Amino acid sequence: MQYEHFSDEQIKTLTALIDQQGYAVLPNWASAAELEDVQALVKREVAQAGNHYVALAGHQAVAGSLLSEWGRSPVFLDLCRRIVTQATGRAANDDALYQVLRCLVGDSGRRESMIFHYDSFVLTAILPVCMPEGNKGDLLMLPSKRPLRGTYAMNLIDKLKIDNRWSQRSLVRAYERGSARFTQVAMEPGNMYLFWGYRSLHTNLPADPKGIRATAVFHYDNLHGASSLAGRIRSSLALVKPRRRAVV
């Protein structure tokens, strides 16, 4: 990672870019050698998962790698914190980044694509690691579609409106019709892309199933992390999920 410190001017520019064009880019976040290193990790993990979709959540899951280092980097954390504060005018809630390494491959990877969603975190940063030869699985978004919600209940209503077959289908159709509402980002491996994950309705396009599409995703500032309703719903979902799987 070549970045060391961001000036206040840079923070303002990045925040304005995210507001205006939906995203901002930090070019060459990873050097060529660093990128190769992380690509080797992806290849190992995908092989270990039997060439199926795999997501490694948390920095422990990538312990000892550059990804874990970046996920805990004070420079990166400071960048995210200042961007969130610049945008929201308040101090951020989190003192850590939440990271996931997402590896899409084959049909199982396709099934994880074209699922429109809002993140729970204000800021999302994506570092593409591997891209397949054909369709790259571009990032697709409706930037800043909703405001930061004041309560978890309102956030839940937004999510329920999207998490159903009808809404998903109409979004896919709108994209296929060439609707100009969408912002499509062809991401380059090694660059870091920043956008409002909480506010933007987003997904990735299907990628060529023959190759690997891997992204290191970093989330910052879980807006309703401290909500007791969020906690209760999360724990009841944790109870329900295994039963559902057993039935299916």
Ligand X SMILES: O=C(O)CCC(=O)C(=O)O
Chosen residue from 59, 81, 82, 102 binding ligand X by CB under 6 A: 102
8 Å CB contact between 80 and 125: yes
Per the structure block, which two tokens stand in for 77?
């954390």
Find the shortest distance in angstroms from Cβ 103 to ligand X.
10
Chosen residue from 171, 204, 208, 221 binding ligand X by CB under 6 A: 204
Between residues 102 and 199, which has the closer beta carbon with respect to ligand X? Answer: 102
Between residues 34 and 199, which has the closer beta carbon with respect to Fe ion? Answer: 199
119 binds ligand X (CB under 6 A): yes
Chosen residue from 29, 202, 211, 221 binding ligand X by CB under 6 A: 202
100 binds ligand X (CB under 6 A): yes
Between residues 34 and 187, which has the closer beta carbon with respect to Fe ion? Answer: 187
8 Å CB contact between 128 and 189: yes
x/- mask, Fe ion, residues 107-146, rule CB under 5 A, reads ------------x---------------------------
155 binds ligand X (CB under 6 A): no
Between residues 10 and 100, which has the closer beta carbon with respect to Fe ion? Answer: 100
Find the shortest distance in angstroms from Cβ 204 to ligand X.
4
Find the shortest distance in angstroms from Cβ 216 to ligand X.
9
Chosen residue from 139, 171, 201, 212 binding ligand X by CB under 6 A: 139
Per the structure block, which two tokens stand in for 135?
């369709």
Alpha-carbon gap, residue 234 to 216, rounded angstroms: 24
> Which stretches of the chain bind ligand X, using CB under 6 A?
100, 102, 119, 126, 139, 202, 204, 215, 217
> Which stretches of the chain bind Fe ion, using CB under 5 A?
119
